Structure 1
Amino acid sequence: MSFPAKVMRDGQLEKRSSGLLQLWKKKRCALTEDGLRLRDCKGGGDAAAPTFAWSSKAKELRFERMATVDCVEYKRGLVYFTVVMATGKEIDFRCPQEGTAWNAEIALALVRYKNLQAVQTGRNRRLSGAHLGSTGEDEEL
């Protein structure tokens, strides 16, 4: 049984579309321990409003598929940044500059995730080596 991931931050971001015009589209976002969940905003208005509607489609950018968060630029009160996926695909975002920026929160969560994965991999290697028994390297001739 899998439990839903803890939401670390919830709010609104703008994502640049991949179409010909590359328009900025508002997305409702939830930063979790596993990645970033994006949903289309319906109805307009403030993202914090309790009547804010969600579309049925949601996109998830999982940390296991992310490589890095970079290309930070500050212009006219907005922070522009790029999430680079392991496949090389780049997804552009922007958010208001005031408060803690989304790019910093996403980057820190990604580093936390990658560190936990590295620790788990190290533990698994150590455990699998212990189960295989002695390799003979420690024995005297």
Structure 2
Amino acid sequence: RDGLLEKRSGGLLQIWKKKRCVLTDEGLRLRGCMGQSAAGHAPCAAWSSGSRAKELLFEHMVTVDCVEYKRGLVYFTVVMNTGKEIDFRCPQDGTAWNAEIALALVRYKNLQAVQTGRKRLISTAHLSGTEE
């Protein structure tokens, strides 16, 4: 999944900044937009290629929370395992990023649980096989 998402800055002013968001199997990759207006409503002139993309990995995420619908926008929060909360918003009529991210996070956590269970099962079988 690839598209536009707005992230609220963590600074004092908490400005909404457009980001190109790529949803991968491991998490979210965010890249900034060059030439955006202060209000953030103008379309992105170009995606920032000089800066490194910011990675929000599922292994560090706890949940997607606080979904709110206001004035045609969906506001939601990604909660990290450090307790940090990252606020996002996207248009209601476009990609439901909050749902896409939440589903991808659940898929990732389920896969991790299955792999952990398999390792535990293999380890238990191996231990019981050596005792005989």
Equivalent pairs counted in the alignment come to 126
Task: Quote the residue 1:5 is aligned against.
Answer: none
1:1-141 equivalence runs, <5 A: 9-44=1-36, 46=43, 52-55=46-49, 56-133=51-128
Q: 1:111, 1:59 → 2: CA distance?
A: 21
TM-score where L is the length of structure 1? 0.82
TM-score where L is the length of structure 2? 0.87
- 3-state DSSP class of the match of 1:133? helix
What amino acid does structure 1 have at the position aligned with 2:96?
A
Q: Which runs of 5+ in 2 are unaligned?
A: 37-41
More helix by share: 2
Root-mean-square deviation (CA), in Å?
Answer: 2.0
Q: Work out the percentage of aligned pairs sharing the same amino acid.
A: 77
Q: Which runs of 5+ in 1 are unaligned?
A: 1-8, 137-141
Q: 2:90, 2:27 → 1: CA distance?
A: 18
Q: 2:47, 2:13 → 1: CA distance?
A: 26
Q: CA deviation at 1:57?
A: 2.1
